[in-house]
Homo-oligomer: A and B are copies of this chain.
Amino acid sequence: MPYSKEIESALKKAKIRVGDRVRIGDIEGLLMPRVMGSPDHVIIKLDNGYNAGVRFSKSTALERSKTHEPKRIEEEFEYEVEEEHAKPSKKELCPPGKPPVALLSAGGTIASKIDYRTGGVTATLDAKDIFASIPELQEQVCFAEAVDVCKVLSEDMDHTHWQALAKAAAKSLRKSDGVIITHGTDTMHYTAAALSFMLPGLGKSVVLTGSQRSTDRGSTDAAMNLLCSAITAKSDLAHVGICMHANSSDDYCMFMRGTKVRKMHSSLRSTFRPINDYPLAFVWPEGRVEVTSPRVERRSNAVPKPDTRFEPKVALLKAFPGSDPSILEYCVKQGFRGIVVEGTGFGHVPTQAKKSWIPSIRAAVESGVVVAVASQAMYGSTNMEVYSNLRVLFRESGAIPCGDMLSETAYVKLGWVLGHTKSAEKAGEMMLTNVAGEFNSRLEEDMFLY
């Protein structure tokens, strides 16, 4: 759907195309296509991840942006978090039996509504709106505080957002019995893994949740997910995890360990599944929590200390038939300090002639890059004892086997580990240490396709 003739011709004249960075008055961001609604509003994607519609007239100055470097997002968050936290918490005012729970918002579908009238502009609900919209929540918990930590779409989260969320969660935990974080679902498991590493020794729970259908639709899963998350947050569990629909009916939710969970379906509400793990607990919206895992931590007085150092120069590459190992050399040249390879089966990579990954992996390791190998089969574990090719890979090339750790978790962990040490050897040791339940020494058959 085109913009109005006026806008289209102004864009053409300025040689601006959709996706380009533009400036209209004070507003700067990426030019978006018109999707619906008024043809005389230009849609700009702001650096905070959301869209703005700017009314265009003949006098409107429209130009290609000269700065390609937006304001540091991290600083923005820090500021926002500080400001919100400066307000007094309501914890003291909570009545008996209504445990104080904090809600942090990180954007995503659960915080979005489409405004069909003005078109294309994504309106947003803040944490307080979310809380207020579900009366059942207020029956279960007391509203300690609500903080908008960031407003980005799931695909635009990165380690700076994880750091901001970890710090905000640690602060909120001091004022509450548990924290709920609302988040877009697409990359929620990456964030859950990051927070698992960044919030060690947690004495309470940090519960990530979201929705697969936006909150203004009848079929939304937001209400039950939030309710179950609140029940989890006040329970005696002490984990970073994801709490979402367990199945397609509106029965109950699963609370899943942050390092052992993955979005497995693009649209179903029961999309999040535990991988190589049982769910930590089933949670019913009426209030019942049934612990389902033999590996759970219980509530304690441990004070959370966020440990957010992170090295973003980490790659996640997939090895597959015919794959070109020169991509590893490219990553080394680009200054990447860590590479996670998704191998096949037990962790295999091509070993044949020109296409062999082994020399490239060895060269990377010799130049000080940490290379870890996970399995793209996803369930099960890497295993260096079965095939001789894998002995070469792991023993001789110095690659680190990821065991039953998800490749996505391994990617996040490697960034976190490399944020803590400059020594590749030490990083290798940390990768093999069970920091946040990312390794499960007791894999059971019924964990497959749970």
Contacts and interface: CB of A to CB of B under 8 A. Distances in A.
Contact of A264 (B267, B319, B377, B387): B377
Given A19-B392, A51-B388, A392-B18, A445 B268 contact: yes
Interface string A260-273: 00011111101101
B268 A159 contact: no
Given A273-B449, A388-B32, A388-B120, A155 B377 contact: no
A448 B190 contact: no
Interface in A311-356: 312, 314-324, 326-327, 330-331, 334, 342-356
Given A47-B352, A345-B154, A381-B267, A322 B312 contact: yes
Contacts of A271: 377, 380
A438 interface: no
B263 A352 contact: no
A334 to B, nearest CB: 7
Interface string A356-383: 1011001000000000000101111111
B323 A316 contact: yes
Nearest to A349: B155
A314 B380 CA distance: 28
Name the residue in A381, A382, A391 with the highest tally of chain B Cβ atoms < 10 Å from its Cβ.
Answer: A391
Given A19-B396, A266-B345, A391-B35, A322 B159 contact: yes
Interface residues of A, number: 99
A377 to B, nearest CB: 5
A266 B382 contact: yes
Contact of A380 (B155, B266, B344, B388): B266
B445 A383 contact: no
A62 B294 CA distance: 55
Interface in A152-173: 152-159
Contacts of A273: 449
A153 to B, nearest CB: 7
A300 interface: no
B391 A345 contact: no
A30 interface: yes
A352 B74 CA distance: 13
Of all A-B residue pairs in the complex, the 5 with the closest CB atoms, nearest first, are: A266-B380, A155-B348, A186-B345, A186-B344, A156-B352
